[in-house]
C-alpha cells in the first residue's frame, strides 16, 4: 500500500560485488548463469576500477574490480576477499530519508546527498544496517 | 530478449543477511528505512534461527539471527560478523541450470535440487561466483 511518506516506493537498484577476476565473474554470471549484460564493461579511471553491469530482473548486478592496489576498493578486496560490497536501494526524496535516518540515530557515511552525473546518492554505514554497506539512490 | 533456454527468466528472489540483533535490524530496515514486513517474524527450531522477511520491490530482504551457538549460521556470524549471507535467484528448470553450471566447471554445494515444503533449491559455492554464496530456487 502506498503511504504518504513515499517510503513504500523503495526498490532494489543494484547489488555490487567486488571481484578479483572480472573475466571469471562474467563467465559465471553472464555465460554460465545467463544474466544479460546491462551496458558496456568499462574502466572508471577516476576510481581505479573496472566495472560491468548485468541484468537481474528490473535490478542489476554490478561487478567491480580494482585496477590499482591503493584504492579503497583494492584495500577492501585485500582485507575481505571477493564478495558482496554494497546494496543500492532506490528511494524517493533522498534528503528526507537521510534526515529520518539521522533522527533515528543511524550512522550515515554521507549525511547529505552526493551528486555525480545528475545522480544523487548517499551511503549508510554497515554499523546501522546489520553489516551491509547500503547506498541510497534517487533518480535525477 | 527471451531465449529458448529460459535463462533470461532469472530474477532476484531474496537477499539474506545474518544479523546479531534482530530487533535492531528490524528497527533499521523496517521502521527507519520503511520496508514493510513480508510475513511473520518466526523461529525455525530445526535450523536454530529466527528469521524475518521484508519487502524489497518484488523481491525480499531476509534477516537471519542464530538462536544457538553451534549452528552453521552462528559459526558464520562468529567468524565473519553480521552482513550479507546469500543471494537467492529464482530460475526456471533448476535441474538443467545445475547441469549447465557443473558442465561449465562451477563448484556446486548441491549438484541436485534439494526440496523442502515443495520448494526446490540448490546452493552454488562462493568460489565460483566471485565470493557470494548463491542460492538458486525454483517455484513449486
Look up the CATH architecture of domain A11-138. Answer: Roll (3.10)
> Which regions in chain A score pLDDT beneath 70?
1-8
Contact A56 B15 (CB under 8 A): no
Cell of B15: 537477499
Question: Kind of pairing, strands A59-66 and A11-18?
Answer: parallel
Q: Which of B59, B52, B58 is nearest to B87 (CA)?
A: B59
The H or E element containing residue A102 is: helix A94-103
Residue ranges of A 91-130 with Cβ closer than 8 A to chain B: 97, 100-101, 104, 106, 126, 128-130
Check residue A4 and give its pLDDT. 47
Residues from chain B that touch A36, judged by Cβ atoms under 8 A, are 1, 8
Nearest by CB to residue B10, choosing from A31, A33, A132, is: A33
Cell 573475466, located at residue:
A23
Cell of B97: 541450470
Check residue B117 and give its pLDDT. 79
> Which regions in chain B score pLDDT beneath 50?
1-5
Q: Which of B92, B81, B94, B42 is nearest to B63 (CA)?
A: B42
Length in residues, chain A: 140
Question: Kind of pairing, strands B134-138 and B83-90?
Answer: parallel
User: What letter does residue A35 receive in the DSSP assignment?
Assistant: P
ipTM of the complex: 0.89
Check residue A8 and give its pLDDT. 54
Chain-centre distance for alpha carbon B128: 16
| Single pTM value for the model | 0.91
Question: Kind of pairing, strands A49-56 and A59-66?
Answer: antiparallel
Nearest by CB to residue B34, choosing from A10, A20, A31, is: A10
Cell of A134: 547500503
Inter-residue contact B132 to B83 (CB < 8 Å):
no
Check residue A36 and give its pLDDT. 93
Residues from chain B that touch A56, judged by Cβ atoms under 8 A, are 10-12, 89
**Distance from the B70 Cα atom to the nearest Cα atom in chain A, whole angstroms:** 21
Residue ranges of B 43-72 with Cβ closer than 8 A to chain A: 56-59, 63
Amino acid at each position: 500500500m502506498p503511504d504518504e511518506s513515499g517510503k513504500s516506493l523503495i526498490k532494489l537498484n543494484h547489488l555490487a560485488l567486488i571481484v578479483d577476476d572480472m573475466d571469471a565473474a562474467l563467465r559465471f554470471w553472464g555465460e554460465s548463469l545467463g544474466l544479460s549484460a546491462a551496458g558496456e564493461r568499462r574502466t572508471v579511471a577516476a576510481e581505479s576500477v573496472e566495472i560491468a553491469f548485468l541484468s537481474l530482473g528490473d535490478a542489476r548486478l554490478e561487478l567491480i574490480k580494482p585496477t590499482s592496489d591503493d584504492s579503497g576498493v583494492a584495500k577492501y578486496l585485500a582485507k575481505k576477499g571477493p564478495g558482496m560490497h554494497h546494496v543500492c536501494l532506490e528511494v524517493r526524496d533522498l534528503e528526507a530519508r537521510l534526515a529520518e535516518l539521522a533522527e533515528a540515530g543511524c550512522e550515515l557515511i554521507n549525511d547529505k546527498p552526493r551528486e555525480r552525473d545528475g545522480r544523487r546518492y548517499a551511503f549508510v554505514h554497515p554499523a546501522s544496517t546489520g553489516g551491509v554497506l547500503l547506498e541510497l539512490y534517487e533518480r535525477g
